[in-house]
Structure 1
Amino acid sequence: MCELLAMSANVPTDIVFSFTGLAERGGVTGPHVDGWGITFYEGKGNRTFKDAAPSCSSQVARLIKSYPIKSEVVISHIRQANRGAVRLENTHPFTRELWGRYWSYAHNGQLSNYQQPLHTKRYQRVGETDSEQAFCWLLESLVNKFGEQAPKDMIPVFEHIALLAAKIRRLGVFNMILSDGRYLMNFCSNNLCYITRRAPFGTAQLIDTDVVIDFHQETTPDDVVTIVATRPLTGNEHWQVLQPGEWKLFRLGELLCGGITAEAGLAQN
């Protein structure tokens, strides 16, 4: 399996601390050595860094750990390959355009017998993974449901994505993070958690390496930062663990809505 990491914040914030912990799981404290990637949003644009090398030894990952790129939304992924070769095109996050915005996505899990149920025409995968195919199907299903123009109210869009994710979950394990640069959504199949940090800020200790940070020295009283991860990254904080089928939607660090979606049949949307 792979591991996920994401951030939603109300001010541009760097993710160096959390990514430092995640990167250790790519070959030191975890077996996820088949590549990694990270996407930072800046306005309507984004910048993505990927490497097919393990995150624990990647020179590009070393840059991310030392260079505090500030963003309000970040998505990251470390890979343990189960479908698709260890190549750059198979590393997450994947990005596509929809409704004039870049959507980015990463998946943890494995799907079976997915080719026909997740068949697409408009969006085509570039690599070989079930993950990318599921992303293409999600976006194509949104166009089929809502049309070529973005709805004014995006909440129903993410509620529909939750239903689509529940359908994909019938094909296997489907833990997902997804963003259009404004909203951050996560969907839990079996392993996903989050923590929202706000004043009064304290210290945090990474589980995977001996790094401690005092957030009081790094933040202002108005900052709100939510971190999503496959497993807790710190050992001295309380992380909220999601239930199977549960989803959450964040914007600017705050929880907007969520729910638990039962598994559903996979019909064409």
Structure 2
Amino acid sequence: MCQLLGLNCATPTDASFSFTGFCQRGGATDHHADGWGIAFFEGRGLRLFVDHQCAAESRMAEFLRSYPLKSRNIIAHVRKATIGDVRLENAHPFSRELWGRHWVFAHNGDLKDYQPRLHSQFQPVGTTDSERAFCWLMQELAKSHAGLPSVEELTLTLRELLPQVRRFGSINFLLSNGDALWAHCSTKLHYLVRQHPFTQATLMDQDWTVNFAELNQPGDRAAVIVTTPLTRNEQWTAFEPDELKVFVDGLPVEVA
């Protein structure tokens, strides 16, 4: 299985602390050594970095840890290959355009014998079940809405679509269009919200403690979503099985 990391923030924020601990799981403290990737939204722009090498030893990952980019929505992934060879085209996150916006998707889980019918606009480049699921979701969202709908409408549509994918196996995923971040849990996913009054946090996978009170202003806020908690001294909340959450401005948003 793979591991996921997402940040949804009220103000542009760098992911260097979380990304540093997360990268150790890509071949150092864990066995997810079959590629990695990270995507940063900047307004309507997108910076996407992927590599088929392990994150713990990647020179590109080292560069990004030392040269942090700030964003309000960040999605990262370290891969343990189950379906699809270890190739660059199979590295997550994946990106597609819909309604004139970049969409980014990363997946953890296995979808057995999953071969959805895909039309010409959304086709996989690689051979993973994850990219096929992403293409199908984009296709069905495009069929359901004539233009970019609200975050609430998108959340309701995703809720209707997900059972059609879920019956093929597990689909833990992160999805963003730069406005919001959607997180779905089939088996395991956790989140926390860092906000004023900020405290210290210590990574589990590396000896590094940060006092966020020294780095943040009262208006800063960040939701961190991850497969397995990254820090040892913060309160993480586990998702319920088959729960879909959407995060906006660093907070989970309730959609009835």
Q: Which residue of 2 aligns with 1:119?
A: 117
1:238 aligns with one of 216, 219, 235: 235
In the alignment, is the contact (CA less than 8 A) between 2:152 and 2:255 conserved in 1?
no
Give the Cα separation in 2 of the matches to 1:167 and 1:241. Answer: 24
Compute the RMSD of aligned alpha carbons.
1.0
Counterpart mapping for 1:158-197 below 5 A:
158-197=155-194
Give the Cα separation in 1 of the matches to 2:213 and 2:2. Answer: 32
Q: Residue 39 of structure 1 aligns to a residue in which SS?
A: strand
Give the Cα separation in 1 of the matches to 2:181 and 2:155. Answer: 10
Partner amino acid, structure 2, of 1:196: V
- Structure 1 residue 146 and structure 2 residue 139: aligned? no
Aligned length: 255
1:77–1:197 distance in 2 versus 1, CA, 3 Å = same
Deviation at 1:258, TM superposition (A): 5.1
Partner amino acid, structure 2, of 1:232: P
Q: Residue 138 of structure 1 aligns to a residue in which SS?
A: helix
- Structure 1 residue 223 and structure 2 residue 220: aligned? yes
Give the Cα separation in 1 of the matches to 2:10 and 2:87. Answer: 34
Give the Cα separation in 2 of the matches to 1:154 and 1:204. Answer: 31
Deviation at 1:163, TM superposition (A): 2.4
Structure 1 portions without partners, runs of 5+:
260-269
Q: Residue 89 of structure 1 aligns to a residue in which SS?
A: helix
- Structure 1 residue 43 and structure 2 residue 40: aligned? no
Counterpart mapping for 1:32-111 below 5 A:
32-111=32-111
Deviation at 1:221, TM superposition (A): 1.1
Q: Residue 7 of structure 1 aligns to a residue in which SS?
A: strand
Give the Cα separation in 2 of the matches to 1:186 and 1:53. Answer: 26
Q: Which residue of 1 aligns with 2:3?
A: 3
Q: Which residue of 2 aligns with 1:267?
A: none
Structure 2 portions without partners, runs of 5+:
none
In the alignment, is the contact (CA less than 8 A) between 2:151 and 2:180 conserved in 1?
no
Give the Cα separation in 1 of the matches to 2:153 and 2:71. Answer: 25
Partner amino acid, structure 1, of 2:31: P
Identity of aligned residues (%): 44
In the alignment, is the contact (CA less than 8 A) between 2:203 and 2:230 conserved in 1?
yes
Partner amino acid, structure 1, of 2:192: I
Deviation at 1:167, TM superposition (A): 2.2
Deviation at 1:247, TM superposition (A): 1.2
Q: Which residue of 2 aligns with 1:255?
A: 252
Q: Which residue of 2 aligns with 1:202?
A: 199
In the alignment, is the contact (CA less than 8 A) between 1:94 and 1:132 conserved in 2?
yes
TM-score, length-normalised on structure 1?
0.93
Partner amino acid, structure 2, of 1:74: I
Partner amino acid, structure 1, of 2:56: C
Deviation at 1:154, TM superposition (A): 3.0
Deviation at 1:165, TM superposition (A): 2.0
Partner amino acid, structure 1, of 2:155: F
Q: Residue 27 of structure 1 aligns to a residue in which SS?
A: coil
Give the Cα separation in 2 of the matches to 1:218 and 1:72. Answer: 16
Give the Cα separation in 1 of the matches to 2:31 and 2:255. Answer: 31
In the alignment, is the contact (CA less than 8 A) between 2:155 and 2:255 conserved in 1?
no
Deviations 1:141-176 (A, max 9, x none): 0111113x223x331112211222232111111001
Give the Cα separation in 1 of the matches to 2:151 and 2:27. Answer: 38
Q: Residue 254 of structure 2 aligns to a residue in which SS?
A: strand
TM-score, length-normalised on structure 2?
0.97
The ranges of structure 1 where at least 4 consecutive aligned residues each deviate by more than 6 angstroms after the TM superposition are: none
Partner amino acid, structure 2, of 1:224: R
